[in-house]
Structure 1
């Protein structure tokens, strides 16, 4: 199930010609299992169907990085993004992280609004070369 939803997310956000999609679309079952072992993955369900994902990776004893928040277009506007981020934050707290970081596209005002409503603030110099802003939240 995870692989199908992840590939659907990549197709929706990046397209099938994107290098990330092309790489992950060739993953074997063993590679998908390794991804699930090495990174926490949270799924949102709507009417018994997976419609959203967010990943979390513990980068160090004190830092967790959130990535790839995605919701199926038909599932947007139901508060599921917030629910996914909250689940990942709870996981980070359970791992005794001090700080949770993420990057978000500068023009993704909806996602930025979700993150800011949960207390994330921009950090660093602002926008990076990929038109993303880094954000962080202290969870202790």
Structure 2
């Protein structure tokens, strides 16, 4: 599967909203307070989010397949966060395409490392990140595994 990966601009708020809500629906369900809160955000709020955050979406036509975000961290770090791939698209290269987009942005912005946090029980995500060149670093945060790599593989 070759997804279309694109960075969201403030004008792409509807597509960004669709991808974000799909990820929250998958992780928390539509009955969660978090889902309802995000679903209730108005266009202006989404535009602000997309102005302040670097977000990417992976799509098959209009269908969101995944999303990932980047932001500058401390001391030359770049942070990969908000990573999600639709269950039907896992193992198809969507995650690779999203990480590549984030890593390219990190490198462009001068990040020395790209860091993320993942739950230790998420074996599939841990295996993917290791294949993508990330390695666990110490100390890990409570309940999370910290992983890092150089932005360009």
- Does the alignment reach a TM-score above 0.5? yes
Measured after TM superposition, the shift of residue 25 of structure 1 is: 2.2
The structure carrying a bigger strand percent of its residues is 1
Alpha carbons 1:39, 1:57 under 8 Å: kept: yes
| TM-score, normalization by structure 2 | 0.79
The answer to whether structure 1 residue 134 and structure 2 residue 146 are counterparts is yes
- Aligned-pair CA distance for 1:19: 4.4
Residue 119 of structure 2: which of 85, 105, 111 is its match? 105
Give the deviation of 1:45 after TM superposition: 2.0
Aligned residues: 138
Q: Do 2:18 and 2:64's aligned partners in 1 also have CA atoms closer than 8 Å?
A: no
Residues of 2 paired with 1:72 and 1:139: CA distance?
24
> Counterpart of 2:138 in 1: which secondary structure?
strand
Q: Which runs of 5+ in 1 are unaligned?
A: none
TM-score, structure 1 normalization: 0.86
Calculate the aligned-residue CA RMSD, in Å. 2.0
Q: CA deviation at 1:47?
A: 4.9
Specify which structure has the bigger relative contact order, considering alpha-carbon pairs within 8 angstroms and separated by 6 or more residues.
Answer: 2
CA contact (8 A) 1:64 1:100 kept: yes
User: Is contact 1:39–1:58 with CA below 8 Å preserved after alignment?
Assistant: no
Structure 2 runs not aligned, ≥5 long: 1-14
